[in-house]
DNA sequence: TTGTAGGCGTTATCAT
DNA sequence: ATGATAACGCCTACAA
C-alpha cells in the first residue's frame, strides 16, 4: 500500500508538501497541487489514519457503550448516535457492556484504549461512584438514561416514575382498580422507578396495592409470559395490567392468547414502549413512550459539542407521553 | 497519557524491554518483568494501539458493511458478527452502506482506509463486477446473502426462491388458489427471487398468476399496508396472501384490522421472517424463516478463518424452513 | 512556496 | 537478558 513517500517521489516533491495539499494547510502553488493530486490518484494513495493519529495525537473518535447489539431498542439508539457523528464528521466506536459491572468497565477501558475523545455511556451496572470517578479523566462523556448527583450536566434523563404513574393513572381513570404489574428487574434503578410510578398512582387514588399483583421479569418476552401467568393465577379477577416493557407485553399477550382471554374485553393493558413493538400486536396497545431515539440523538449532539470544546447548555429532561390505542376499555 | 518511554524510565530499563514483557516475546528475567509490571501499574499505562499498528503494520481488525443499523434484522446480524470476532480476539469496525451503490462503495473504502484485514459485505446495490474486482485487492472478504459466479467460495447464501416456493406451496396445499403477493423491491435480486418462488409455485400447480394479485413495496410496514390495500381493492375475492417480509406483513395486518378482515378466517397469510416479528402478531403468522443470524455467524467464522490464513472449506448453503403457526386455514 | 528534520508510540533487528 | 537504533506513515515547526 502506497505511503506518502511514494506519492512525494512520484510527484517530485517532499513529503511535507504532499501532506500540505492533502490537508489543505499552508500555501501551495496550483501547479504542484495538481501534480500531487495526480500522483495520489495514480498510486491510489490513502492516508494511514493510524499514522495520522499518532502524529497529531488526536483521533476524532467518539465511543459508545451499550448493553448489547441485540434488538430494536439498541439498534435505534446506535443508529441515532452514528448518524449524528457522521454529520459531525467524527468516527464512532461501539462497545458492548453486556450485563455486568465488570464488562461495562472493560467496554469503557477498550474505548479509552482506542483513544476515544468522548464517550456516551448507556450503562446499567456501574456504580455512581465509578462514574463520578470517570470525571477525573480528561475524556468528556455523557450519561444516557441515567441521573447522578454531581453529574447533572452530563445526564440525558427520562422521567420513568412519572411515566409509570401516567400509564397506571390512565387505567385508574378508566375505572380499573385491580391492576396487575409486570415489573422489570427492580435492582436496576430505571426499572424500579417504572414500578414506583405504579405504586404512586395507586396510592394517590387510594387503591390498595397488593404484593400478589406484582411479578418481576427481565424485560424479556418469556419473562412477561411467566409474570402474567403468575399474576393471573393469584388474581383471576384483575381487570387490567401494566407492563414495564414492550417485550414483556408481548409475552403477556402470548399467555392471554393461550388462555383465550381477550384484550381489552377481559383484560386491559397499558405498556411501556420505545420501538413500536406494541403497535404490531392486536389490538394495538396503549403505551407510555420512552423516547430512546430522541434521547440518543440528544446525547450524541451534546457529546459532539463537548468534544468540540464547547460548553454544554443544560440538557433536556425527556417527559413521558401517553399513546392511546385499543387495549384499554372503560370499566363500569 | 503515559507512554512506553515513561514506563521504561520508571522501571529503569529500555523501551525494548518493556515491549518484550508486554508482548511476552523473548526472554526476560523474572526480576525485570516484575519491575516493569509495577511501573505499568503505577503509571496506569495502556499501549497505544495506533502506534502498535504502525509498527507491526497489522491491525487485527475486521470490517462489516451493512445497509443500516436500524431494526432487529441488522442488529441481530451485527451482534452475531461481533460476538464471533470477540471470540477470535479481533476488532470489528462497522460501516453503513445505506441504500445506494455509491455509499456502499464509500463504506467499503472507509473500512479499507482503516486498514481492515478482512471484510464481511452485506451489500445490496453494488454490481457483481465491482465485487469481482474486489478480489484483486489482497483483503479477504465474505459476501453475506449474495451469490456471484466466480466468488462462490466466498458467498454465504440462502435459497430465497425455494423459500418463496415453500411458502406459497403451503397455501396451495391448504386449498388456496387466489393468492395475493406482497413483493419486495424487485430490482434487488433476493427480493426478485422471493417473488419468483411465488410464480414458480403457482405455475407448478397450474394456477393462473394474475398481475393484479401482485403489489410491490420497500420491505417496510407502510408499504405492506399500501400493497395489501392495492391487492384487495383489485381482488376482493382473494383467500390468501404471501408476504415477502415481516414488516410488510405487519403492514398488511394493519389494513386487515382496519377493514375488520379476520386472519385466518377471511384471509390466510404466510410471510417471510427472520427476527420473529411475526410471532408477536395475533394470530401467530406462519412463516418461512430466513436465518440471518446463523448466516451472519457463518460468515464471521469464515472470514475469521480466512484472516488467520486458513483456506476455506465450502460454505454452507442455508435452506428455508416452514414455521407453521395460526395464520393459514384449510379452504374447502 | 517548498524542503529538512524531529517527533508521535510502538516493534523488530542487531548487537552486546 | 537487555539495550541501541531504525523503521512504521504522517504532521509540523523551522528554515530556506
pLDDT in tens, chain A (332 residues): 999 999 999 999 999 999 999 999 989 999 999 999 999 999 999 999 999 999 999 999 999 999 999 999 999 999 999 999 999 999 999 999 998 999 999 999 999 999 999 999 999 999 999 999 999 999 999 999 999 999 999 999 999 999 999 999 999 999 999 999 999 999 999 999 999 999 999 999 999 999 999 999 999 999 999 999 999 999 999 999 999 999 999 999 999 999 999 999 999 999 999 999 999 999 999 999 999 999 999 999 999 999 999 998 889 999 999 999 999 999 97
Judge residue A51's burial from the number of C-beta atoms within 10 Å of its C-beta, 0-12 exposed, 13-18 middle, 19 or more buried.
middle
Q: In Å, how far from its chain's centre is CA B228?
A: 27
Q: Which residues of B touch A250 (CB under 8 A)?
A: 280
Note the pLDDT of residue A314: 85
Spell out residues with C-beta < 7 A from strand C.
A 12-17, 20, 26-29, 31-33, 51, 54-55, 57; B 1, 3-5, 15-16, 18-19, 22-23, 25, 45-48, 51-52, 54-56
Partners of residue A279 on adjacent β-strands: none
Do the Cβ atoms of B50 and A46 come within 8 Å?
no
| Distance of alpha carbon B191 from alpha carbon A93, whole angstroms | 32
Instruction: Kindly determine whether the C-beta of residue A21 is less than 7 Å away from any atom of nucleic acid strand D.
Output: no
- Chain B residues with CB under 8 Å of A53 CB are 50
The SS3 call for residue B272 is strand
Of the candidates A222, A291, A278, A246, the residue with the CA atom closest to the CA atom of residue B250: A278
In a mutational test of the B interface, the residue from A66, A75, A110 whose CB has the highest number of chain B CBs within 10 Å is A75
Answer yes or no: is A31 CB < 7 A from strand D. Answer: no
Q: List CB contacts (< 8 A) between A44 and chain B.
A: none
pLDDT at residue A312 in the model: 87
- B32 contact to strand D (CB, 7 A limit): yes
Cα B69 to Cα A309: distance, rounded to the nearest angstrom: 28
**Kind plus residue range of the DSSP H or E element containing B20:** helix B15-23
In sequence order, the 6+-apart residues with CB closer than 8 A to the CB of B62 are B85, B90, B91, B92, B93, B116, B117, B118, B119, B120, B300, B303, B304, B307
pLDDT along chain B (332 residues), means of 10: 96 96 94 96 97 97 97 97 97 95 97 98 96 95 96 96 98 98 96 98 95 97 98 98 98 97 98 97 97 98 96 91 97 86
Could you give the angle at which helices A160-173 and A189-204 cross, rounded to 10 degrees? Answer: 40
Task: Looking at the complex, report in whole angstroms how far the Cα of residue A203 sits from the nearest Cα belonging to chain B.
Answer: 33
- Inspect the interface and report whether the beta carbons of B280 and A250 lie closer than 8 Å: yes
- Measured CA to CA, the distance from residue A87 to residue A184 in angstroms comes to 35
Q: Output b/e per residue, A142-179; b: 16+ Cβ within 10 A.
A: bbbbbbbeebeebbbbbbbbbbbbbbbbbbbebebeeb
Identify the pLDDT of residue B332: 80
Cβ–Cβ below 8 Å for A281 and B277: no
Task: Give the three-state DSSP class for B182.
Answer: strand
The reported pTM is: 0.96
Percent of chain A as helix, strand, coil, to the nearest 5: 50, 15, 35
**Residues forming a β-bridge with B240:** B179, B268
Distance of CA A128 to the CA centre of its chain: 18
CA distance B86 to B258: 46
Amino acid at each position: 500500500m502506497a505511503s506518502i513517500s511514494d506519492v512525494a517521489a512520484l510527484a517530485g516533491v517532499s513529503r511535507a508538501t504532499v501532506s500540505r495539499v492533502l490537508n489543505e494547510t499552508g500555501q501551495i502553488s496550483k501547479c504542484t497541487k495538481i501534480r500531487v493530486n495526480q500522483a495520489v490518484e495514480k498510486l491510489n494513495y490513502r492516508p494511514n489514519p493510524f499514522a495520522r493519529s499518532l502524529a497529531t495525537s488526536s483521533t476524532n473518535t467518539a465511543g459508545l457503550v451499550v448493553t448489547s447489539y441485540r434488538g430494536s431498542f439498541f439498534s435505534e439508539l446506535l443508529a441515532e448516535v452514528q448518524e449524528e457523528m457522521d454529520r459531525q464528521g467524527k468516527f464512532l466506536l461501539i462497545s458492548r457492556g453486556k450485563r455486568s459491572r465488570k464488562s461495562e468497565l472493560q467496554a469503557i477501558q477498550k474505548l479509552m484504549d482506542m483513544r476515544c475523545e468522548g464517550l456516551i455511556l448507556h450503562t446499567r451496572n456501574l456504580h455512581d461512584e465509578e462514574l463520578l470517578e470517570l470525571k477525573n479523566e480528561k475524556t468528556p462523556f455523557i450519561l444516557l438514561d441515567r441521573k447522578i448527583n454531581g453529574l447533572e450536566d452530563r445526564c440525558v434523563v427520562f422521567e420513568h416514575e412519572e411515566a409509570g404513574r401516567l400509564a397506571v393513572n390512565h387505567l385508574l381513570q378508566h375505572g380499573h382498580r385491580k391492576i396487575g404489574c409486570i415489573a422489570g428487574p427492580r435492582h436496576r434503578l430505571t426499572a424500579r422507578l417504572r414500578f414506583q410510578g405504579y405504586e404512586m398512582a395507586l396510592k394517590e387514588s387510594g387503591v390498595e396495592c397488593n404484593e400478589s399483583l406484582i411479578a418481576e421479569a427481565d424485560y424479556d418476552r418469556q419473562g412477561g409470559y411467566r409474570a402474567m401467568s403468575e399474576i393471573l393465577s393469584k388474581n383471576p379477577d384483575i381487570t387490567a395490567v401494566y407492563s414495564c416493557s414492550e417485550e414483556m407485553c408481548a409475552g403477556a399477550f402470548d399467555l392471554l392468547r393461550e388462555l383465550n382471554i381477550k384484550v381489552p374485553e377481559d383484560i386491559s393493558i397499558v405498556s411501556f414502549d420505545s420501538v413500536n413493538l406494541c403497535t404490531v400486536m392486536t389490538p394495538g396497545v396503549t403505551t407510555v413512550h420512552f423516547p430512546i431515539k430522541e434521547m440518543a440523538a440528544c446525547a450524541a449532539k451534546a457529546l459532539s459539542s463537548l468534544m468540540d470544546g464547547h460548553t454544554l447548555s443544560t440538557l433536556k429532561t425527556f417527559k413521558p407521553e401517553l399513546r392511546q390505542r385499543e387495549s384499554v376499555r372503560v370499566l363500569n
